[in-house]
Structure 1
Amino acid sequence: MKRLALAVLGAISLSACAQAPGGNTDPVPSATTATAAKSAAAPKPAAGTPEARAIEAVRALNPQVEVERVAPAAMPGFREAIVAGQVVYVSDDGRYLFLPGSGGALFDVAAKKNLSEDAMAGLRKQLIATIPASERIVFSPAKPKYTVTVFTDVECGYCRKLHSQIAEYNREGIAIEYLAFPRMGLGSDDYRKMVAVWCAPDRRKALTAAKSDHGPTKADCKTSVNQQYDVGQRVGLTGTPMIVTAEGVQVGGYLPPAALRETLDKLAAEHARTASTVPAKPGT
Protein backbone atom coordinates (compact mmCIF):
# COMPACT_ATOMS: atom_id res chain seq x y z
CA MET A 1 0.00 0.00 0.00
CA LYS A 2 2.85 2.36 0.81
CA ARG A 3 4.37 2.04 -2.66
CA LEU A 4 0.97 2.62 -4.25
CA ALA A 5 0.37 5.73 -2.18
CA LEU A 6 3.79 7.11 -3.00
CA ALA A 7 3.25 6.52 -6.70
CA VAL A 8 -0.07 8.33 -6.75
CA LEU A 9 0.72 11.12 -4.34
CA GLY A 10 4.20 11.64 -5.80
CA ALA A 11 2.65 12.42 -9.16
CA ILE A 12 0.11 14.72 -7.55
CA SER A 13 2.78 16.51 -5.52
CA LEU A 14 4.97 17.07 -8.58
CA SER A 15 2.02 18.56 -10.41
CA ALA A 16 1.21 20.83 -7.50
CA CYS A 17 4.82 22.05 -7.26
CA ALA A 18 4.94 22.75 -10.96
CA GLN A 19 1.80 24.85 -10.75
CA ALA A 20 2.80 26.82 -7.65
CA PRO A 21 3.19 30.56 -8.40
CA GLY A 22 6.86 31.53 -8.29
CA GLY A 23 6.20 34.97 -6.87
CA ASN A 24 4.40 33.88 -3.69
CA THR A 25 6.86 34.01 -0.78
CA ASP A 26 4.30 33.93 2.05
CA PRO A 27 4.34 30.35 3.42
CA VAL A 28 1.24 30.83 5.59
CA PRO A 29 -2.08 31.94 4.07
CA SER A 30 -3.78 34.86 5.78
CA ALA A 31 -6.86 34.31 7.93
CA THR A 32 -8.97 36.05 5.31
CA THR A 33 -7.64 33.79 2.55
CA ALA A 34 -8.17 30.67 4.65
CA THR A 35 -11.74 31.69 5.51
CA ALA A 36 -12.56 32.46 1.90
CA ALA A 37 -11.14 29.13 0.76
CA LYS A 38 -13.13 27.27 3.38
CA SER A 39 -16.35 29.05 2.47
CA ALA A 40 -15.77 28.30 -1.20
CA ALA A 41 -15.28 24.59 -0.57
CA ALA A 42 -17.88 22.26 -2.04
CA PRO A 43 -20.37 20.73 0.42
CA LYS A 44 -19.57 17.24 1.71
CA PRO A 45 -21.28 14.63 -0.49
CA ALA A 46 -23.79 12.22 1.01
CA ALA A 47 -22.41 8.87 2.13
CA GLY A 48 -22.70 6.07 -0.41
CA THR A 49 -22.72 8.37 -3.44
CA PRO A 50 -20.13 8.11 -6.23
CA GLU A 51 -18.73 11.46 -5.08
CA ALA A 52 -18.23 10.18 -1.54
CA ARG A 53 -16.61 6.98 -2.79
CA ALA A 54 -14.24 9.02 -4.96
CA ILE A 55 -13.08 10.99 -1.92
CA GLU A 56 -12.70 7.80 0.11
CA ALA A 57 -10.56 6.25 -2.63
CA VAL A 58 -8.18 9.21 -2.72
CA ARG A 59 -7.96 9.40 1.09
CA ALA A 60 -7.30 5.67 1.28
CA LEU A 61 -3.91 6.59 -0.15
CA ASN A 62 -3.36 9.59 2.10
CA PRO A 63 -5.82 10.68 4.83
CA GLN A 64 -4.32 14.19 4.86
CA VAL A 65 -4.87 15.00 1.19
CA GLU A 66 -7.55 17.54 0.37
CA VAL A 67 -10.00 16.77 -2.41
CA GLU A 68 -11.02 20.18 -3.68
CA ARG A 69 -13.89 19.19 -5.93
CA VAL A 70 -15.69 16.11 -7.26
CA ALA A 71 -17.96 16.13 -10.28
CA PRO A 72 -19.19 13.73 -12.97
CA ALA A 73 -16.49 12.99 -15.53
CA ALA A 74 -16.93 13.12 -19.30
CA MET A 75 -16.08 9.41 -19.23
CA PRO A 76 -19.16 7.41 -18.13
CA GLY A 77 -18.78 5.52 -14.87
CA PHE A 78 -16.14 7.86 -13.41
CA ARG A 79 -15.98 10.90 -11.17
CA GLU A 80 -13.55 13.73 -11.80
CA ALA A 81 -11.72 14.86 -8.66
CA ILE A 82 -9.40 17.83 -8.26
CA VAL A 83 -6.56 17.00 -5.89
CA ALA A 84 -3.68 19.42 -5.26
CA GLY A 85 -4.34 21.11 -8.58
CA GLN A 86 -4.42 17.89 -10.57
CA VAL A 87 -7.33 16.03 -12.13
CA VAL A 88 -7.79 12.45 -10.89
CA TYR A 89 -10.44 10.09 -12.20
CA VAL A 90 -12.10 7.61 -9.84
CA SER A 91 -14.58 4.92 -10.85
CA ASP A 92 -18.06 5.38 -9.42
CA ASP A 93 -17.63 2.30 -7.21
CA GLY A 94 -14.39 3.73 -5.77
CA ARG A 95 -12.35 0.74 -6.96
CA TYR A 96 -10.17 2.31 -9.65
CA LEU A 97 -8.18 5.54 -9.71
CA PHE A 98 -6.67 6.90 -12.90
CA LEU A 99 -3.95 9.53 -13.16
CA PRO A 100 -3.92 11.01 -16.67
CA GLY A 101 -1.10 12.81 -18.40
CA SER A 102 2.53 11.87 -18.95
CA GLY A 103 3.31 8.68 -17.07
CA GLY A 104 -0.37 8.26 -16.22
CA ALA A 105 -1.39 5.07 -14.48
CA LEU A 106 -4.46 3.08 -13.47
CA PHE A 107 -4.61 1.94 -9.85
CA ASP A 108 -6.77 -0.73 -8.23
CA VAL A 109 -7.38 0.90 -4.86
CA ALA A 110 -8.98 -2.17 -3.24
CA ALA A 111 -6.28 -4.60 -4.39
CA LYS A 112 -3.56 -2.00 -3.80
CA LYS A 113 -2.09 -2.49 -7.26
CA ASN A 114 -0.71 -0.26 -9.97
CA LEU A 115 -2.34 -2.06 -12.89
CA SER A 116 -0.40 -0.07 -15.48
CA GLU A 117 2.92 -0.96 -13.88
CA ASP A 118 1.88 -4.62 -13.61
CA ALA A 119 1.19 -4.66 -17.33
CA MET A 120 4.47 -2.92 -18.14
CA ALA A 121 6.42 -5.25 -15.84
CA GLY A 122 5.12 -8.26 -17.73
CA LEU A 123 6.04 -6.66 -21.04
CA ARG A 124 9.52 -5.67 -19.83
CA LYS A 125 10.21 -9.20 -18.62
CA GLN A 126 9.08 -10.65 -21.94
CA LEU A 127 11.11 -8.22 -24.06
CA ILE A 128 14.28 -8.51 -21.99
CA ALA A 129 14.06 -12.29 -22.29
CA THR A 130 14.50 -11.93 -26.06
CA ILE A 131 18.12 -10.85 -25.50
CA PRO A 132 20.23 -14.03 -25.29
CA ALA A 133 22.15 -14.54 -22.06
CA SER A 134 25.34 -14.66 -24.13
CA GLU A 135 24.73 -11.05 -25.22
CA ARG A 136 24.60 -9.64 -21.70
CA ILE A 137 27.65 -8.37 -19.85
CA VAL A 138 27.33 -9.88 -16.39
CA PHE A 139 28.97 -8.94 -13.11
CA SER A 140 27.79 -11.38 -10.46
CA PRO A 141 28.72 -12.75 -7.04
CA ALA A 142 29.09 -16.52 -6.69
CA LYS A 143 25.57 -17.00 -5.34
CA PRO A 144 23.46 -13.92 -6.09
CA LYS A 145 20.33 -13.24 -4.07
CA TYR A 146 18.93 -11.00 -6.80
CA THR A 147 19.62 -10.38 -10.47
CA VAL A 148 18.78 -7.09 -12.14
CA THR A 149 19.05 -5.89 -15.72
CA VAL A 150 20.68 -2.50 -16.20
CA PHE A 151 20.37 -0.63 -19.49
CA THR A 152 23.64 1.27 -19.61
CA ASP A 153 25.58 3.78 -21.66
CA VAL A 154 29.35 4.30 -21.65
CA GLU A 155 29.06 8.10 -21.52
CA CYS A 156 26.43 8.99 -18.87
CA GLY A 157 27.65 10.07 -15.46
CA TYR A 158 25.32 7.94 -13.35
CA CYS A 159 26.08 4.87 -15.50
CA ARG A 160 29.73 5.37 -14.68
CA LYS A 161 28.99 5.94 -11.01
CA LEU A 162 26.95 2.73 -10.84
CA HIS A 163 29.72 0.75 -12.53
CA SER A 164 32.38 2.21 -10.23
CA GLN A 165 30.48 0.49 -7.38
CA ILE A 166 29.97 -2.84 -9.13
CA ALA A 167 31.93 -4.74 -6.47
CA GLU A 168 29.67 -3.27 -3.77
CA TYR A 169 26.53 -4.37 -5.63
CA ASN A 170 27.98 -7.85 -5.82
CA ARG A 171 28.78 -7.81 -2.09
CA GLU A 172 25.12 -6.92 -1.48
CA GLY A 173 24.23 -10.16 -3.27
CA ILE A 174 23.11 -8.43 -6.47
CA ALA A 175 24.10 -9.61 -9.94
CA ILE A 176 24.16 -6.92 -12.63
CA GLU A 177 23.33 -7.91 -16.20
CA TYR A 178 24.15 -5.05 -18.53
CA LEU A 179 22.34 -4.31 -21.79
CA ALA A 180 23.42 -1.59 -24.18
CA PHE A 181 21.49 1.62 -24.66
CA PRO A 182 23.60 4.24 -26.45
CA ARG A 183 21.65 7.32 -25.44
CA MET A 184 22.91 9.43 -28.34
CA GLY A 185 21.22 7.07 -30.79
CA LEU A 186 22.19 4.53 -33.41
CA GLY A 187 25.15 5.58 -35.54
CA SER A 188 26.52 8.04 -32.97
CA ASP A 189 30.05 7.95 -31.55
CA ASP A 190 28.51 6.65 -28.35
CA TYR A 191 26.89 3.82 -30.31
CA ARG A 192 30.16 2.91 -32.04
CA LYS A 193 31.95 2.72 -28.69
CA MET A 194 29.31 0.35 -27.34
CA VAL A 195 29.49 -1.83 -30.45
CA ALA A 196 33.26 -1.97 -29.93
CA VAL A 197 32.71 -3.10 -26.34
CA TRP A 198 30.37 -5.88 -27.45
CA CYS A 199 32.90 -6.93 -30.12
CA ALA A 200 35.77 -7.11 -27.64
CA PRO A 201 37.09 -10.56 -26.65
CA ASP A 202 36.69 -9.60 -22.97
CA ARG A 203 33.50 -7.55 -22.79
CA ARG A 204 33.63 -7.03 -19.03
CA LYS A 205 37.12 -5.55 -19.25
CA ALA A 206 36.22 -3.50 -22.33
CA LEU A 207 33.09 -2.07 -20.71
CA THR A 208 34.98 -1.07 -17.57
CA ALA A 209 37.63 0.62 -19.70
CA ALA A 210 35.05 2.37 -21.90
CA LYS A 211 33.38 3.91 -18.86
CA SER A 212 36.65 5.69 -18.08
CA ASP A 213 37.33 6.69 -21.72
CA HIS A 214 39.96 4.00 -22.28
CA GLY A 215 37.90 1.40 -24.07
CA PRO A 216 37.95 0.22 -27.67
CA THR A 217 36.50 2.62 -30.25
CA LYS A 218 36.52 0.52 -33.44
CA ALA A 219 34.87 -2.77 -34.27
CA ASP A 220 33.88 -4.75 -37.32
CA CYS A 221 31.74 -7.54 -35.90
CA LYS A 222 28.02 -8.16 -35.80
CA THR A 223 26.43 -7.47 -32.40
CA SER A 224 23.01 -7.31 -30.77
CA VAL A 225 23.46 -3.66 -29.69
CA ASN A 226 20.75 -2.54 -32.13
CA GLN A 227 18.35 -5.14 -30.70
CA GLN A 228 19.16 -4.10 -27.13
CA TYR A 229 18.59 -0.45 -28.02
CA ASP A 230 15.21 -1.34 -29.55
CA VAL A 231 14.20 -3.30 -26.45
CA GLY A 232 15.20 -0.36 -24.25
CA GLN A 233 12.88 1.92 -26.18
CA ARG A 234 10.03 -0.57 -26.03
CA VAL A 235 10.27 -1.09 -22.26
CA GLY A 236 9.79 2.63 -21.65
CA LEU A 237 13.36 3.72 -21.07
CA THR A 238 13.69 7.50 -20.87
CA GLY A 239 17.20 7.73 -19.44
CA THR A 240 20.22 5.70 -18.43
CA PRO A 241 20.86 3.83 -16.28
CA MET A 242 17.55 1.99 -16.03
CA ILE A 243 17.37 -0.82 -13.47
CA VAL A 244 14.80 -3.59 -13.97
CA THR A 245 14.19 -6.53 -11.62
CA ALA A 246 13.88 -10.15 -12.72
CA GLU A 247 10.09 -9.67 -12.53
CA GLY A 248 10.22 -6.69 -14.91
CA VAL A 249 9.69 -3.98 -12.28
CA GLN A 250 11.55 -0.73 -12.91
CA VAL A 251 13.27 0.42 -9.69
CA GLY A 252 15.52 3.23 -10.97
CA GLY A 253 17.56 5.26 -12.15
CA TYR A 254 20.74 5.05 -10.25
CA LEU A 255 20.43 3.61 -6.75
CA PRO A 256 23.40 3.14 -4.40
CA PRO A 257 24.20 -0.53 -3.62
CA ALA A 258 22.66 -0.63 -0.13
CA ALA A 259 19.56 1.25 -1.31
CA LEU A 260 19.07 -1.13 -4.22
CA ARG A 261 19.38 -4.14 -1.92
CA GLU A 262 16.82 -2.59 0.46
CA THR A 263 14.45 -1.95 -2.45
CA LEU A 264 14.79 -5.51 -3.74
CA ASP A 265 14.21 -6.91 -0.25
CA LYS A 266 11.02 -4.86 0.09
CA LEU A 267 9.76 -5.97 -3.32
CA ALA A 268 10.45 -9.60 -2.44
CA ALA A 269 8.58 -9.21 0.87
CA GLU A 270 5.61 -7.59 -0.90
CA HIS A 271 5.57 -10.39 -3.46
CA ALA A 272 5.60 -13.00 -0.69
CA ARG A 273 2.73 -11.28 1.14
CA THR A 274 0.70 -11.05 -2.06
CA ALA A 275 1.33 -14.71 -2.88
CA SER A 276 0.24 -15.78 0.60
CA THR A 277 -3.11 -14.00 0.24
CA VAL A 278 -4.02 -15.47 -3.16
CA PRO A 279 -6.71 -18.13 -2.64
CA ALA A 280 -5.69 -21.64 -3.69
CA LYS A 281 -7.33 -23.00 -6.80
CA PRO A 282 -9.91 -25.76 -6.28
CA GLY A 283 -8.32 -29.18 -6.27
CA THR A 284 -4.82 -27.93 -5.37
Structure 2
Amino acid sequence: MKKILKIMLISISTIITVMVVFLATVYFVNLVSNEREKGKLEDYGQKVMVDGKQMNVLIQGDGKETIVLLPGYGTASPVLDFKPLVKELSPYYRVVVIEPFGYGLSDDTDKVRTSQNYVDEIHECLQKLNIKKYTLMGHSISGIYGLEYVNQYEKEVQAFVGIDSSVPKQETDELPVSSLQLLNQSGLYRLLLKVNPDQLVMPKVDDQTKAQIKMLTFRNFLDESQGSEADNFRNNFKNAQRLHFPKKLPVVFYLADQTEKETPSWKPMHEDLLKNVDRGKVVTFKGGHYLHHTRSKEIAADFKGFLSEIESNR
Protein backbone atom coordinates (compact mmCIF):
# COMPACT_ATOMS: atom_id res chain seq x y z
CA MET A 1 0.00 0.00 0.00
CA LYS A 2 2.84 2.39 0.88
CA LYS A 3 4.42 1.75 -2.50
CA ILE A 4 1.13 2.38 -4.33
CA LEU A 5 0.52 5.56 -2.32
CA LYS A 6 4.04 6.78 -3.10
CA ILE A 7 3.51 6.16 -6.83
CA MET A 8 0.18 8.04 -6.72
CA LEU A 9 1.72 11.02 -4.94
CA ILE A 10 4.60 11.15 -7.42
CA SER A 11 2.13 10.98 -10.33
CA ILE A 12 -0.06 13.76 -8.91
CA SER A 13 2.99 15.94 -8.22
CA THR A 14 4.26 15.35 -11.74
CA ILE A 15 0.88 16.27 -13.27
CA ILE A 16 0.65 19.44 -11.15
CA THR A 17 4.22 20.41 -12.06
CA VAL A 18 3.57 19.86 -15.76
CA MET A 19 0.36 21.95 -15.57
CA VAL A 20 2.12 24.78 -13.74
CA VAL A 21 4.98 24.80 -16.24
CA PHE A 22 2.51 24.67 -19.14
CA LEU A 23 0.40 27.57 -17.83
CA ALA A 24 3.51 29.61 -16.98
CA THR A 25 4.87 29.04 -20.49
CA VAL A 26 1.57 30.05 -22.10
CA TYR A 27 1.42 33.18 -19.92
CA PHE A 28 4.97 34.34 -20.69
CA VAL A 29 4.68 33.56 -24.41
CA ASN A 30 1.56 35.75 -24.49
CA LEU A 31 3.31 38.50 -22.53
CA VAL A 32 6.30 38.52 -24.89
CA SER A 33 4.04 38.30 -27.96
CA ASN A 34 1.96 41.29 -26.81
CA GLU A 35 5.08 43.42 -26.38
CA ARG A 36 6.54 42.34 -29.72
CA GLU A 37 3.28 42.99 -31.57
CA LYS A 38 3.07 46.58 -30.32
CA GLY A 39 5.90 47.44 -32.69
CA LYS A 40 4.32 45.58 -35.59
CA LEU A 41 0.98 47.37 -35.59
CA GLU A 42 0.60 49.58 -38.65
CA ASP A 43 -0.97 53.00 -38.27
CA TYR A 44 -3.98 53.96 -40.39
CA GLY A 45 -6.52 56.76 -40.42
CA GLN A 46 -6.22 59.86 -38.27
CA LYS A 47 -6.60 60.69 -34.59
CA VAL A 48 -9.34 62.98 -33.30
CA MET A 49 -9.27 64.30 -29.73
CA VAL A 50 -12.57 63.32 -28.08
CA ASP A 51 -13.30 63.75 -24.37
CA GLY A 52 -9.58 64.10 -23.71
CA LYS A 53 -8.64 60.90 -25.52
CA GLN A 54 -7.68 59.91 -29.07
CA MET A 55 -10.31 58.35 -31.31
CA ASN A 56 -9.13 56.80 -34.56
CA VAL A 57 -11.01 57.60 -37.78
CA LEU A 58 -10.54 56.68 -41.42
CA ILE A 59 -11.95 58.93 -44.15
CA GLN A 60 -11.96 57.66 -47.72
CA GLY A 61 -13.61 58.99 -50.87
CA ASP A 62 -14.67 62.54 -51.68
CA GLY A 63 -18.32 62.17 -52.72
CA LYS A 64 -20.90 64.83 -51.97
CA GLU A 65 -22.81 62.58 -49.54
CA THR A 66 -21.16 61.28 -46.34
CA ILE A 67 -21.62 57.84 -44.80
CA VAL A 68 -20.53 57.19 -41.22
CA LEU A 69 -19.80 53.53 -40.44
CA LEU A 70 -20.12 52.18 -36.88
CA PRO A 71 -19.00 48.65 -35.88
CA GLY A 72 -20.55 45.68 -34.16
CA TYR A 73 -19.54 44.68 -30.64
CA GLY A 74 -15.99 43.48 -30.11
CA THR A 75 -14.73 44.26 -33.62
CA ALA A 76 -10.94 44.24 -33.32
CA SER A 77 -10.43 46.84 -36.04
CA PRO A 78 -13.53 48.52 -37.50
CA VAL A 79 -11.45 50.11 -40.29
CA LEU A 80 -10.04 46.77 -41.45
CA ASP A 81 -13.32 44.95 -40.81
CA PHE A 82 -15.26 47.37 -43.04
CA LYS A 83 -12.59 47.31 -45.75
CA PRO A 84 -14.71 45.50 -48.41
CA LEU A 85 -17.67 47.82 -47.84
CA VAL A 86 -15.52 50.96 -47.87
CA LYS A 87 -14.07 49.80 -51.18
CA GLU A 88 -17.57 49.60 -52.69
CA LEU A 89 -18.90 52.85 -51.22
CA SER A 90 -15.91 55.21 -51.47
CA PRO A 91 -16.04 55.72 -55.27
CA TYR A 92 -19.42 57.42 -54.79
CA TYR A 93 -19.43 58.79 -51.23
CA ARG A 94 -17.19 60.18 -48.54
CA VAL A 95 -16.95 57.25 -46.12
CA VAL A 96 -16.04 57.81 -42.48
CA VAL A 97 -15.19 54.78 -40.34
CA ILE A 98 -15.16 55.58 -36.63
CA GLU A 99 -13.35 53.33 -34.17
CA PRO A 100 -15.02 53.88 -30.78
CA PHE A 101 -12.91 53.89 -27.63
CA GLY A 102 -11.47 50.43 -26.98
CA TYR A 103 -11.65 49.48 -30.66
CA GLY A 104 -9.01 49.44 -33.39
CA LEU A 105 -6.31 52.05 -32.80
CA SER A 106 -8.44 54.26 -30.54
CA ASP A 107 -7.59 54.80 -26.88
CA ASP A 108 -9.30 52.75 -24.20
CA THR A 109 -11.50 54.51 -21.63
CA ASP A 110 -12.82 53.87 -18.14
CA LYS A 111 -15.98 55.86 -18.85
CA VAL A 112 -19.07 53.65 -18.45
CA ARG A 113 -20.30 52.36 -21.82
CA THR A 114 -23.86 53.62 -21.73
CA SER A 115 -25.55 54.36 -25.04
CA GLN A 116 -25.58 58.03 -24.08
CA ASN A 117 -21.82 58.21 -23.53
CA TYR A 118 -21.22 56.32 -26.78
CA VAL A 119 -23.49 58.72 -28.71
CA ASP A 120 -21.91 61.79 -27.11
CA GLU A 121 -18.42 60.63 -28.12
CA ILE A 122 -19.33 59.78 -31.72
CA HIS A 123 -21.10 63.11 -32.14
CA GLU A 124 -18.15 65.04 -30.67
CA CYS A 125 -15.86 63.23 -33.09
CA LEU A 126 -17.98 64.21 -36.10
CA GLN A 127 -18.22 67.79 -34.86
CA LYS A 128 -14.42 67.97 -34.57
CA LEU A 129 -14.21 66.73 -38.17
CA ASN A 130 -16.73 69.41 -39.21
CA ILE A 131 -19.13 66.76 -40.55
CA LYS A 132 -22.64 68.19 -40.27
CA LYS A 133 -24.82 66.01 -42.54
CA TYR A 134 -24.44 62.26 -43.00
CA THR A 135 -26.01 58.83 -43.27
CA LEU A 136 -25.42 56.62 -40.26
CA MET A 137 -24.66 53.00 -41.20
CA GLY A 138 -24.14 50.54 -38.36
CA HIS A 139 -23.52 46.84 -37.89
CA SER A 140 -25.00 44.72 -35.10
CA ILE A 141 -24.95 46.54 -31.69
CA SER A 142 -24.72 49.88 -33.51
CA GLY A 143 -28.41 49.43 -34.22
CA ILE A 144 -29.02 50.22 -30.54
CA TYR A 145 -26.59 53.12 -30.36
CA GLY A 146 -27.83 54.37 -33.74
CA LEU A 147 -31.44 54.47 -32.53
CA GLU A 148 -30.38 56.64 -29.61
CA TYR A 149 -28.25 58.78 -31.92
CA VAL A 150 -30.87 59.56 -34.57
CA ASN A 151 -33.37 60.63 -31.91
CA GLN A 152 -30.91 63.14 -30.51
CA TYR A 153 -29.48 64.41 -33.80
CA GLU A 154 -32.35 63.97 -36.23
CA LYS A 155 -31.52 67.21 -38.05
CA GLU A 156 -28.01 65.99 -38.87
CA VAL A 157 -28.72 62.38 -39.88
CA GLN A 158 -30.05 62.02 -43.43
CA ALA A 159 -30.76 58.29 -43.26
CA PHE A 160 -30.07 55.24 -41.11
CA VAL A 161 -28.81 51.92 -42.47
CA GLY A 162 -28.63 48.80 -40.31
CA ILE A 163 -26.44 45.86 -41.32
CA ASP A 164 -28.02 42.91 -39.48
CA SER A 165 -28.39 45.47 -36.74
CA SER A 166 -29.53 44.82 -33.18
CA VAL A 167 -33.06 45.74 -32.09
CA PRO A 168 -34.25 46.74 -28.61
CA LYS A 169 -36.50 43.72 -28.01
CA GLN A 170 -34.08 40.97 -28.99
CA GLU A 171 -32.80 38.57 -26.35
CA THR A 172 -29.45 39.54 -24.86
CA ASP A 173 -27.01 37.14 -23.23
CA GLU A 174 -24.74 38.12 -20.38
CA LEU A 175 -21.06 37.64 -21.14
CA PRO A 176 -18.81 36.21 -18.38
CA VAL A 177 -16.57 39.26 -18.73
CA SER A 178 -14.16 38.54 -15.85
CA SER A 179 -13.63 34.93 -16.93
CA LEU A 180 -13.00 35.91 -20.55
CA GLN A 181 -10.60 38.67 -19.52
CA LEU A 182 -8.70 36.14 -17.40
CA LEU A 183 -8.62 33.77 -20.38
CA ASN A 184 -6.98 36.52 -22.44
CA GLN A 185 -4.57 37.67 -19.74
CA SER A 186 -3.44 34.09 -19.07
CA GLY A 187 -2.53 33.60 -22.73
CA LEU A 188 -4.99 30.75 -23.17
CA TYR A 189 -7.08 32.81 -25.61
CA ARG A 190 -4.03 33.23 -27.85
CA LEU A 191 -3.41 29.48 -27.63
CA LEU A 192 -7.03 28.67 -28.51
CA LEU A 193 -6.87 30.90 -31.59
CA LYS A 194 -3.61 29.29 -32.64
CA VAL A 195 -5.22 25.86 -32.42
CA ASN A 196 -8.39 27.02 -34.19
CA PRO A 197 -7.75 30.25 -36.16
CA ASP A 198 -11.16 30.01 -37.85
CA GLN A 199 -12.68 31.36 -34.62
CA LEU A 200 -11.62 34.82 -35.80
CA VAL A 201 -14.27 36.30 -38.10
CA MET A 202 -12.67 38.54 -40.69
CA PRO A 203 -13.32 39.68 -44.27
CA LYS A 204 -11.49 38.36 -47.33
CA VAL A 205 -8.35 40.45 -47.15
CA ASP A 206 -4.64 39.91 -47.81
CA ASP A 207 -2.44 38.05 -45.32
CA GLN A 208 -0.83 41.23 -44.03
CA THR A 209 -4.23 42.71 -43.14
CA LYS A 210 -5.27 39.43 -41.51
CA ALA A 211 -2.14 39.57 -39.36
CA GLN A 212 -3.01 43.13 -38.29
CA ILE A 213 -6.55 42.10 -37.37
CA LYS A 214 -5.21 39.20 -35.34
CA MET A 215 -2.78 41.42 -33.41
CA LEU A 216 -5.49 44.01 -32.73
CA THR A 217 -7.76 41.21 -31.51
CA PHE A 218 -5.24 40.31 -28.81
CA ARG A 219 -4.66 43.99 -28.03
CA ASN A 220 -8.32 44.95 -27.62
CA PHE A 221 -10.06 41.74 -26.54
CA LEU A 222 -12.43 42.70 -23.72
CA ASP A 223 -10.36 45.72 -22.71
CA GLU A 224 -11.89 48.11 -20.20
CA SER A 225 -14.25 49.68 -22.76
CA GLN A 226 -15.50 46.40 -24.20
CA GLY A 227 -15.87 44.88 -20.74
CA SER A 228 -17.99 47.81 -19.60
CA GLU A 229 -19.97 47.65 -22.84
CA ALA A 230 -20.84 44.00 -22.22
CA ASP A 231 -21.82 44.76 -18.62
CA ASN A 232 -24.22 47.43 -19.90
CA PHE A 233 -25.86 45.39 -22.67
CA ARG A 234 -29.13 44.80 -20.86
CA ASN A 235 -29.55 48.37 -19.65
CA ASN A 236 -28.75 49.79 -23.09
CA PHE A 237 -31.18 47.46 -24.85
CA LYS A 238 -33.87 48.13 -22.25
CA ASN A 239 -33.46 51.90 -22.50
CA ALA A 240 -33.72 51.68 -26.30
CA GLN A 241 -37.21 50.16 -26.02
CA ARG A 242 -38.61 53.63 -25.35
CA LEU A 243 -37.37 54.87 -28.73
CA HIS A 244 -38.68 54.88 -32.31
CA PHE A 245 -37.08 56.04 -35.52
CA PRO A 246 -38.16 59.59 -36.41
CA LYS A 247 -41.06 59.63 -38.86
CA LYS A 248 -39.29 61.52 -41.65
CA LEU A 249 -35.97 59.65 -41.37
CA PRO A 250 -35.37 57.16 -44.22
CA VAL A 251 -34.37 53.76 -42.80
CA VAL A 252 -33.21 50.55 -44.48
CA PHE A 253 -32.24 47.28 -42.80
CA TYR A 254 -30.02 44.73 -44.53
CA LEU A 255 -30.60 41.41 -42.78
CA ALA A 256 -28.81 38.05 -43.01
CA ASP A 257 -30.94 35.03 -43.86
CA GLN A 258 -28.86 32.90 -41.48
CA THR A 259 -29.80 35.18 -38.59
CA GLU A 260 -33.46 34.98 -39.64
CA LYS A 261 -33.28 31.17 -39.54
CA GLU A 262 -31.74 31.22 -36.07
CA THR A 263 -34.14 33.91 -34.80
CA PRO A 264 -37.56 33.69 -36.53
CA SER A 265 -38.64 37.01 -35.01
CA TRP A 266 -35.61 38.82 -36.47
CA LYS A 267 -37.32 40.27 -39.54
CA PRO A 268 -40.67 41.05 -37.79
CA MET A 269 -38.80 42.97 -35.06
CA HIS A 270 -37.09 45.11 -37.69
CA GLU A 271 -40.34 45.64 -39.58
CA ASP A 272 -41.94 46.76 -36.33
CA LEU A 273 -39.33 49.52 -36.02
CA LEU A 274 -40.41 50.85 -39.44
CA LYS A 275 -44.11 51.25 -38.60
CA ASN A 276 -43.62 54.89 -37.69
CA VAL A 277 -41.33 55.67 -40.64
CA ASP A 278 -42.49 57.25 -43.93
CA ARG A 279 -39.70 55.68 -46.00
CA GLY A 280 -38.31 52.39 -44.78
CA LYS A 281 -37.62 48.89 -46.01
CA VAL A 282 -36.10 45.54 -45.05
CA VAL A 283 -33.84 43.66 -47.49
CA THR A 284 -32.63 40.12 -46.80
CA PHE A 285 -29.37 38.80 -48.25
CA LYS A 286 -27.99 35.28 -48.16
CA GLY A 287 -25.17 35.12 -45.65
CA GLY A 288 -24.21 35.33 -42.02
CA HIS A 289 -24.20 38.13 -39.47
CA TYR A 290 -21.17 39.85 -41.02
CA LEU A 291 -22.92 40.71 -44.29
CA HIS A 292 -20.44 43.49 -45.05
CA HIS A 293 -17.78 40.79 -45.45
CA THR A 294 -19.67 38.85 -48.10
CA ARG A 295 -22.36 41.14 -49.56
CA SER A 296 -20.64 44.52 -49.80
CA LYS A 297 -21.37 44.90 -53.53
CA GLU A 298 -25.07 44.17 -53.04
CA ILE A 299 -25.36 46.45 -50.00
CA ALA A 300 -23.61 49.33 -51.80
CA ALA A 301 -25.72 48.91 -54.94
CA ASP A 302 -29.02 48.76 -53.06
CA PHE A 303 -28.07 51.68 -50.82
CA LYS A 304 -27.12 53.77 -53.84
CA GLY A 305 -30.59 53.19 -55.30
CA PHE A 306 -32.25 53.87 -51.95
CA LEU A 307 -30.40 57.18 -51.55
CA SER A 308 -31.20 58.22 -55.14
CA GLU A 309 -34.87 57.56 -54.51
CA ILE A 310 -34.75 59.69 -51.38
CA GLU A 311 -33.10 62.55 -53.29
CA SER A 312 -35.66 62.42 -56.08
CA ASN A 313 -38.55 62.60 -53.59
CA ARG A 314 -37.19 65.62 -51.72
Q: TM-score range by the shorter chain?
A: under 0.3
Q: Give 1 or 2 for the bigger CA radius of gyration.
A: 1
User: Which of structures 1 and 2 has the larger relative contact order (alpha carbons within 8 angstroms, sep 6+)?
Assistant: 2
Larger fraction in helix? 2
TM-score after normalising by structure 1: 0.27
